[in-house]
Amino acid sequence: GSLVGGAEWADAIARARRILDAASNRDRREQSRTALMQGSSKARGAFSTSLDALTTLLHERVRAAAERGNNSSANASARALDCVEAAKTRATGNVNPQLITSELIRQLERLVG
């Protein structure tokens, strides 16, 4: 990740939470809206920051689940991190952030939904 300002990071955290919420609530319309909010290829910087924020949120979930002794939840959140890392790799290429987010939400839905 890169160093970002407080307002930019707060926005990225909000976008990351929205991605997690969309994956958890299984509402297809909300999932589509969330993916469309990621912008186009011109919004790659903000999108990459959102993926970094999503990594942070998932790390927190892994830690919290492990502290509670909920190994299955910790493992699922850890596997979700792999999905986010793959999304980050696709984001460095010429893939539209909306498409990446749509696929990522479907993957996260199976793991943290």
| pLDDT tens per residue, range 67-97 | 999 999 999 999 999 999 999 999 988 789 9
Predicted TM-score (pTM) of this structure: 0.88
Asked whether the beta carbons of 4 and 90 are under 8 A apart, the reply is no
Whole-angstrom CA distances from 42 to 22, 30, 32, 92, 97 are 23, 23, 19, 12, 9
39: left (phi over 0), alpha (psi -120 to 50) or beta: left
Whole-angstrom CA distances from 71 to 3, 65, 74, 87 are 32, 7, 5, 25
The pLDDT confidence band at residue 1, using thresholds 50, 70 and 90, is very low
User: So what's the pLDDT on residue 43?
Assistant: 60
The pLDDT confidence band at residue 4, using thresholds 50, 70 and 90, is low
- Has residue 44 got a pLDDT over 80? no
What value does the CA radius of gyration of the chain take, rounded to a whole number of Å? 13
- Has residue 2 got a pLDDT over 60? no
| Nearest to 73, CA basis, from 8, 24, 27 | 24
In whole angstroms, what is the distance from residue 88 CA to residue 69 CA?
29
Q: Which residue has the higher pLDDT, 44 or 102?
A: 102
Average pLDDT value for residue range 4-19: 89
Asked whether the beta carbons of 40 and 97 are under 8 A apart, the reply is yes
User: So what's the pLDDT on residue 98?
Assistant: 93
